[in-house]
């Protein structure tokens, strides 16, 4: 209620906020309240503001303190909730991993800067809703995995999307792209965290794959 009043005083909804710390406060409070859906909306908005890495580090540290205090205060209630993990909570966990990956990619520690086996990414694409209408520029939480030579198997790039919005008619949740089918990977100038990937999905049928991929940070894009 207090947060909604704060936003009301500013005369804006979440999507209209341009100050990172306002959005981060919204994110933190809804995360502590376990309102995962609103927390995830705020997380995406935080990312799109393209904040300095130390902003994200401050937010994640604040969140750890808030979660710890909440657990101590609501231990019995949390034990009851722990057995059930919703899709929204899984997406929230993705965002924590995503921001943590951005922080690690800027670490002075070589070990922390290492590329994880499953790289958290966002795939920006157009999707059709179940009612037939099209949503443009939807950011879908995903993981990217690079599979290099293992015997006779081809080298592949695998993208696994999280189960998210049930109203969307998403394509297969796992997309496998052979490395030798990739035509080009182009860095996006307006956002140093993003690339366009172009590949042949089926050379005989002249089917192609065109994806815009967003990494957690500029450093992760060049890793």
- Does the pLDDT at position 12 exceed 80? no
Q: pLDDT at position 3, please?
A: 57
* pTM for the full predicted model: 0.85
d(CA 128, CA 117): 31
Average of per-residue pLDDT values in the chain: 84
For residue 204, pLDDT beyond 70 = no
pLDDT for the residue numbered 127: 75
φ, ψ (nearest 5 deg) of residue 95? -65, -35
CA–CA distances in Å: residue 123 to residues 20, 24, 38, 146: 22, 22, 20, 16
**Is 180:155 a contact under the CB 8 Å cutoff?**
yes
Residue 205 neighbours by CB distance under 10 Å:
8
SS (H, E, C) 147-201: ECCECCECCEEEEEECCCCCCEECCCCEEEEEHHHEEEEEECCCCCCEEEEEEEE
Which of 31-45, 70-84, 197-211 has the largest mean confidence? 31-45
Task: Check pLDDT > 80 for residue 193.
Answer: yes
Task: Give yes or no for residue 104 having a pLDDT over 70.
Answer: yes
Average pLDDT over residues 82-111: 88
**Beta strands 168-169 and 119-129: pairing type?**
antiparallel
Can you read off the two tokens belonging to residue 52? 């300095």
How does residue 112 score in pLDDT terms, banded at 50, 70 and 90?
Answer: confident
Residue with tokens 């182009």: 186
Task: Single out the residue of 180, 197, 179 nearest to residue 188, CA to CA.
Answer: 197
Q: What is the pLDDT of residues 59-87, one digit of tens each?
A: 999 998 987 876 656 655 555 555 556 88
Is residue 106 very low, low, confident or very high in pLDDT (cuts 50, 70, 90)? very high
Secondary structure of residue 223 in the 3-state scheme:
coil
Half-sphere exposure in the Cβ direction for 95 (13 Å, CA):
30
Instruction: For residues 104-132, give the mean pLDDT.
Output: 87
**Contacts of 32 by beta carbon, 8 Å cutoff, 6+ apart:** 63, 66, 67, 70
**Residue 112 in 3-state DSSP?**
helix
> What percentage of residues in the chain have a pLDDT greater than 70?
79
Residue 123, pLDDT above cutoff 80:
yes
Average pLDDT over residues 27-45: 94
Which ranges of 33-52 would DSSP assign to H, the alpha helix? 36-48
**How many whole angstroms separate alpha carbon 179 and alpha carbon 204?**
17
């Amino acid at each position: 209620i207090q947060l909604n009043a704060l936003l009301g005083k500013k005369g804006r909804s979440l999507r209209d906020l341009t100050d990172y710390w306002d959005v981060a406060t919204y994110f933190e409070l809804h995360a502590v309240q376990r309102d995962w859906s609103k927390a995830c909306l705020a997380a995406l908005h935080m990312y799109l503001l393209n904040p300095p890495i130390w902003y994200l580090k401050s937010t994640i540290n604040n969140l750890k303190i808030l979660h710890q205090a909440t657990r101590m205060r609501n231990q019995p209630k949390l034990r009851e909730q722990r057995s059930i993990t919703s899709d929204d909570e899984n997406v929230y966990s993705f965002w924590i991993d995503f921001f943590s990956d951005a922080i690690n990619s800027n670490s002075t520690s070589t070990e922390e800067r290492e590329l994880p086996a499953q790289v958290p990414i966002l795939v920006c694409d157009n999707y059709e809703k179940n009612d037939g209408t099209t949503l443009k520029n939807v950011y879908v939480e995903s993981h990217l995995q690079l599979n290099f030579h293992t015997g006779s198997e081809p080298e592949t790039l695998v993208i696994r999307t999280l189960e998210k919005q049930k109203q969307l008619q998403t394509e297969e949740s796992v997309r496998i792209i052979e490395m030798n089918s990739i035509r080009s990977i182009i860095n996006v100038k307006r956002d140093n965290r993003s690339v366009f990937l172009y590949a042949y999905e089926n050379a005989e049928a002249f089917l192609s794959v065109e994806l815009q991929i967003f990494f957690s940070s500029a450093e992760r894009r060049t890793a």
